[in-house]
A and B are shown apart, each in its own frame.
Chain A
Amino acid sequence: MVSGQDALLAQMRRGTLQYCVLSLLGTEERYGFDLVRALAEQDGMVTSEGTIYPLLSRLRRDGLVESSWQESTSGPPRRYYRLTEGGRTALEGFRLEWRRFRDAVDHFVERTEPS
């Protein structure tokens, strides 16, 4: 891999991860382990599962998600996270920008090379 590409991918992952988290919470509330498992199912999205928690904590302090404790049938209570209105707005804004950006990049890099 070209030198610097690893760092770029890490940056891109880092920058987009929070919107993946917001997106996952957009459809249903989830507790941490559940959320991490859903993210980890996608190859290359999460390198260290533990780093999701500081991210969740930050999103919560920024008011993009909120959390509440709920009893679990299989153990101690779990902290469930859900999207706030602010989080939904942020997610929608990102979606628009992301589509534009993705399409623009695709336009160039996905062009089939002349044979």
Chain B
Amino acid sequence: MSATADRLVNEYLDRLEEELADFPAARRRELVQEISAHIAEARASLENEDEASIRNLLDRIGDPADIAAEAAGPPAPEAPLPPPPAKTRGGGWDVAALVMLLVGGLILPVVGWFIGVVLLWTSETWSTGEKLLGTLLVPGGLALPLFLLTIGTSVNSCGGEVGGPITCTGGNGAGSAAAAVLVIALFVLPIAVVAYLARRRSQVAAPA
């Protein structure tokens, strides 16, 4: 059975050579030489070189792939995960959030502003406080003052029959002034807030 034993051993060593193909020649030679010597020593201590004994002997030495894996070194320790890339969606989404907050309500009444709010809150650019600011100042964005202005104009509309006296309906002068200030404030505030959020965004994007 020695021929069979030789064949099995040679097949094993051939597989080992293959598994070690990527290693420098000197290391490959050293390992094959050592394991080949090990096999020779182990065979010498066998009482009977039958096929089963040889197969057991080679099994104890192990799969050539395992030996090659050991030669490749311990698996690299789990590399610390690189910090997850800042999950900034395309900056375009942030810009869209600000645009929709400001004028979304004009493009799509009510819904447009809500889209802006959703984009604002799903962005990771701003802090919660800044998001609250963007949401509360001013609900509806520019649509709110424009809407109020429209109502106000219609309420304060002056009319009159042709040739007749012009009659104005509407509040007194002081009330109108207060309303005007309010409307102006409602125009200025959302613009200011959006401008502030835009500035915060550019600071986050390019930290000093």
Interface residues of A (CB under 8 A from B): 14, 31-33, 36, 40, 47-51, 53-58, 74-76, 78-79
Contact = CB atoms under 8 A, between A and B. Distances in A.
Contact of A48 (B37, B63, B73): B63
B67 A33 contact: no
B67 A50 contact: yes
User: Main SS of the interface on chain A?
Assistant: helix
A56 B44 CA distance: 23
A75 B45 CA distance: 12
A54 B62 contact: no
Interface residues of B, number: 23
Contact of B67 (A48, A58, A78, A79): A48
B70 interface: yes
A74 B37 contact: no
B38 A50 contact: yes
11 contacts: A32-B34, A33-B41, A36-B38, A50-B64, A51-B67, A54-B31, A54-B70, A55-B70, A56-B34, A58-B73, A76-B37
Contacts of B67: 48, 50-51, 53-54
Nearest to B38: A33
B151 interface: no
B66 A48 contact: yes
A14 B37 contact: no
Contacts of B37: 31-33, 76, 78-79
Interface of B: 27, 30-31, 33-35, 37-38, 40-42, 44, 60-64, 66-67, 70-71, 73-74
Given A49-B62, A50-B61, A53-B67, A75 B38 contact: no
**A-B interface, 5 closest residue pairs, ranked by CB to CB distance from nearest:** A48-B62, A54-B71, A33-B41, A50-B61, A51-B70
A48 B74 CA distance: 15
A100 to B, nearest CB: 22
B194 to A, nearest CB: 52
Contact of B60 (A49, A76, A78): A49
A15 to B, nearest CB: 8
Contacts of B44: 74-75
Contacts of A79: 33-34, 37
Given A14-B74, A74-B44, A75-B44, A49 B38 contact: yes
Of B37, B67, B73, chain A has the most CB atoms within 10 Å of the CB of: B37
Nearest to B73: A58
Contacts of B70: 48, 51, 54-55
B73 A50 contact: no
Contacts of B38: 32-33, 36, 49-50, 53
A90 B70 CA distance: 21
A43 B65 CA distance: 23
